[in-house]
């Protein structure tokens, strides 16, 4: 069951972070929570969390950036260390907002961003919620069909609405009918922005240092994971066809303070597909009710 909640009025602004513009929308009052969206074509912060912002804003100051390369933020991501690039930008957002610490909530690419930020600077993160995060066990198995579909979007015959619709309806979610055509239309328009097409923000590592980049992008190879003190909740759709649900167990076995919630009949987009459950569990966890 999903929740279709109207978005509240949100303050919108652009922040200069190391000479790059990061778009941010925010609403609510309370402990700061940063919502980090996934990396699929045409993704953006507010759209990805449209079913969660209003509910979380009842208790929290909800801060929703567009990650570098997406939405209204400056395009381009450092392909030699994409997770580090994203994490650095979001840490810069915290700096510009005068926030020493915040809760982080991240889906997929945004989950990888949150985890990398926490590993690099654990003192900046209060609690962390990860939904099907990227970079978990990626050097231990071949990419899933869903991930291949995502990575091939800008290659071969180039981006198209049918390619995007196939990725979303066949791989991203469990129930294809749950995604309105309007969501696909909006994401397609954003995905073919000439600046994005010229510099896709999520690509396969290539070149002479590709193996080193791949290794760096697999958190299960990072020794710091076993020492990360940040209380973490991992939610993973049991039917996720983009990032394998087995990644949840990998994190739970390595992180010293990690709860794992496997969500039945759900794909890669837990916060969208199971919004009511996500909103409740996320708010409770961030408040220390676990």
Mean pLDDT confidence for 173-179: 96
Q: What is the distance between the alpha carbons of residues 272 and 279, in angstroms, rounded to a whole number?
A: 10
Between residues 101 and 203, the one the model is more confident about: 101
CB 174 within 8 A of CB 266: yes
DSSP 214: H
161 by Cβ neighbours in 10 Å (0-12 / 13-18 / 19+) ranks as middle
Q: What is the pLDDT of residue 5?
A: 62
CB contact burial 51-62 (16+ within 10 A = b; e otherwise): bbbbbbbeebbb
* CA–CA distance, 26 with 53 (Å, rounded to integer): 9
Residue 280 CB contacts under 8 Å (≥ 6 apart), including other chains:
none
The answer to whether residue 37 is catalytic is: no
Say what the pLDDT of residue 205 is: 86
Residue % of the chain over a pLDDT of 70: 98
- Please give the average per-residue pLDDT across 36-58, as a whole number: 97
Asked if the model's pLDDT at residue 166 lies above 80, the reply is yes
User: What pLDDT does residue 204 have?
Assistant: 84
Contact between 219 and 225 under an 8 Å Cβ cutoff? The reply is yes
* DSSP character at residue 253: H
Closest CA to 69 of 188, 197, 159: 197
CA angle 270, 220, 147 (to 5 degrees): 45
pLDDT at 251 over 80: yes
Taking the whole predicted model, whether its pTM rises above 0.85 is answered as yes
What's the average model confidence in pLDDT over 202-214? 86
Whether residue 180 is predicted with pLDDT greater than 70 in this model: the reply is yes
Taking residues 270-285, report their average pLDDT. 98
Distance CA 236, CA 230 (A): 19
Radius of gyration of the chain from its Cα atoms, rounded to whole angstroms:
17
Look at residues 65, 36, 77, 72 and name the one whose alpha carbon lies nearest to residue 200: 77
Q: What per-residue confidence (pLDDT) applies to 212? A: 87
Give kind and range of the element (H or E) at residue 259.
strand 258-263
- Asked if residue 2 has pLDDT above 50, the reply is no
């Amino acid at each position: 069951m999903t929740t279709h909640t109207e978005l509240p009025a949100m303050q919108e602004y652009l922040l200069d972070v190391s000479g790059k513009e990061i778009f941010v929308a925010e609403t609510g009052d309370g402990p700061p929570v940063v919502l980090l969206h996934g990396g699929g074509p045409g993704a953006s912060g507010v759209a990805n969390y449209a079913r969660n912002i209003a509910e979380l804003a009842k208790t929290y100051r909800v801060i929703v950036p567009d990650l570098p390369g997406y939405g209204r933020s400056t395009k381009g991501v450092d392909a030699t260390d994409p997770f580090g690039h994203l994490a650095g930008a979001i840490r810069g957002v915290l700096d510009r907002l005068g926030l020493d610490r915040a809760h982080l909530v991240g889906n997929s690419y945004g989950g990888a961003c949150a985890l990398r930020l926490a590993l690099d600077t654990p003192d900046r993160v209060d609690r962390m919620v990860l939904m099907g995060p990227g970079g978990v066990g990626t050097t231990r198995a071949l990419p899933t069909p869903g991930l291949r579909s995502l990575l091939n979007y800008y290659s071969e015959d180039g981006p198209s609405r049918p390619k995007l619709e196939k990725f979303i309806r066949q791989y991203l979610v469990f129930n294809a009918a749950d995604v309105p055509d309007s969501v696909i239309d909006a994401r397609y328009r954003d995905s073919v922005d000439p600046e994005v097409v010229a510099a896709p923000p999520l690509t396969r590592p290539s070149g002479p240092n590709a193996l080193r980049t791949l290794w760096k992008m697999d958190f299960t190879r990072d020794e710091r994971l076993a020492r990360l003190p940040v209380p973490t909740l991992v939610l993973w759709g049991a039917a996720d066809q983009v990032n394998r649900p087995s990644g949840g167990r990998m994190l739970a076995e390595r992180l010293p303070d990690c709860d794992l919630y496997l969500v039945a009949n759900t794909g890669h987009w837990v916060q969208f597909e199971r919004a009511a459950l996500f909103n409740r569990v996320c708010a409770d966890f961030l408040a220390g009710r676990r």
